Amino acid sequence: MAKRTKSALKSARKSDRKRIANRIKKLRLKKAIKELRATKDPKSFQELYPKVQAIIDKSAKSGIIHKNKASRLKSRLSALLSKITEKK
């Protein structure tokens, strides 16, 4: 077994904590988007949309997803919003 310094062990612990936290944030993002896409009612969609948009922005800011992906997600969701409200 290779020697491991105190700093390497601490770094491994830190990265484990970060990985778990990032995973939770990414799952929260995916769940929010999935929930929004499943919504067919225009009124509830409009209520949920800003919340999901905020989650997307926070995820991009913290590096969970790339800023271009965040932009793409928001664009597609806004297109879906206009499509749903158009059906009224």
**Which residue stretches of 1-88 are H helix?**
6-38, 42-61, 67-86
How far apart are the C-alpha atoms of 27 and 25, rounded to whole Å? Answer: 5
Q: What is the pLDDT along the chain (88 residues), one digit of tens a residue?
A: 577 899 999 999 999 999 999 999 999 999 999 999 999 899 999 999 999 999 999 999 999 999 999 999 999 999 999 998 886 5
